[in-house]
Amino acid sequence: MNIYDISKQAGVSIATVSRVLNGSPNVKPATRKKVMDIIDRSGYVPNAFARGLGLDTMNSIGIICADSSDLYLAKAVYYIENDLRKNGYNCILICSGYEHKGKEDALSRLLNQRVDAVIMAGSTYVEAEPKDNRYIMNAASQTPVFLLNADLDCPNVYCTVCDDFKAARSATCALLNSGITDILYLYNSRSYSGMKKLSGYQAAYHMHKIPLNADMMQFFDGSHENIDGVCRFLCGLKEQGLVFHAVLASDDMLAVGAVKYGKMNHIAIPEELSVIGYNNSLLTVCSDPEITSVDNKLEAMCSQLVRTCIGVLNSESMPPKVVYQGELIHKGTTRLTDQQSKSDQHKGGHF
């Protein structure tokens, strides 16, 4: 079944069928009805490939993320797919993994597919070495690129980020204000955003004029699901004599590990150990007590990212960078008041 078959059966030319199909106003109602009847009866659907060839688009957008089963990225993909679909776009999903090669492959795959845009979700896509971001810039010269939680200043690249520096600083300040000065910063990623969080932690100490201790910034080098490993890692630190009364984690999963560590060692939470996670994910409510966490407004960010994307595809002028503000959500692993953390957000504007 193609447009010729329909045109023959309806006794009109393919141009008229095409016009009916695409809702052109220049069709006599009677003709339109006649054609529509044939189309409905036959169940004809235009061939998407032919359409794509002529229009140079199949209305599809690529989404790259490192691991779509990661709690945070899974949410991001879900929000983005929903919004794009509402705007008439299909999503081609590629999980790139965390290695550079995988990222480049994913991007080139999508460009070969001639997607209308590429969305890269996750801070892992912008790296410290400028040359490692070259491949994104090259892609952007062909197709608009939209980054979620990563920042890259380049034409045709649009960033939607959460200010992780401020959020981490606020969280740290909240702990410092409550009188805890031995805060262990626990992280598992050295990505752009990972480094921003670390800087935020450090900035809070500077603000409070408390010297930093390198041992209190610990990198956990393990799988994103190895909660038990995090727990053992902290036990190891304790055995080495490291003393800390709070853990600020760059990810909720690390925070869950910290809570487990506390329980295993009979350390009361939050009385003797405060814990703050990051992402305010489902994990925070699985834990007992529930984990205080930084909410980084993922849904709002995704919604904004798609809005920007659609705008760009419609040749509207769009901001190359939109910054959201994280918010500390107090739950059961801290004994902080909202007042304290809020006052800190207003300080430190000099950073």
Does 14 bind DNA (CB under 7 A)? Our answer is: yes
Does 43 bind DNA (CB under 7 A)? Our answer is: no
Does 111 bind its own copies (CB under 8 A)? Our answer is: yes
Query: Are the beta carbons of 172 and 204 closer than 8 angstroms?
Result: yes
CB 78 → its own copies: shortest distance, Å?
4
> How would you class 233 by CB atoms within 10 Å of its CB: exposed for 0-12, middle for 13-18, buried for 19 or more?
buried
Query: What is the footprint of its own copies within residues 247-286 (CB under 8 A)?
Result: 256, 259-260, 263, 282-283, 285-286
Q: Cis peptide before 320, with omega less than 30 degrees from 0?
A: no
- Which region, judged by CB under 7 A, interacts with DNA, from 29-37, 65-73, 181-189, 242-250? 29-37
Element (H, E) at 187: strand 183-187
Query: Are the beta carbons of 158 and 145 closer than 8 angstroms?
Result: yes
> Which residue is associated with the tokens 């695409």?
22
Among its own copies, DNA, none, residue 22 binds (CB under 5-8 Å by kind): DNA
- Which region, judged by CB under 7 A, interacts with DNA, from 15-23, 72-80, 326-334, 339-347? 15-23
3-state secondary structure of 327: strand
Residue from the set 11, 130, 236, 319 that interacts with DNA by CB under 7 A: 11
CA-wise closest residue to 315 among 139, 116, 63, 85: 116
Residue from the set 8, 37, 42, 47 that interacts with DNA by CB under 7 A: 47
Q: Which is nearer to its own copies, 26 or 112 (CB)?
A: 112
Report how many residues bind its own copies under the rule CB under 8 A: 47
Does 142 bind DNA (CB under 7 A)? Our answer is: no
Give a three-class secondary structure readout of 113-126: CCCCEEEEECHHHC
CA-wise closest residue to 120 among 130, 131, 135: 135
Among DNA, its own copies, none, residue 4 binds (CB under 5-8 Å by kind): DNA
- Distance (Å, rounded) from C-alpha 76 to C-alpha 70? 10
| Residue numbers at the binding site for its own copies (CB under 8 A) | 45, 47-50, 52-53, 56, 58, 60, 63, 67-69, 71, 74-75, 77-79, 81-82, 85, 90-95, 109, 111-114, 225, 227-228, 256, 259-260, 263, 282-283, 285-288
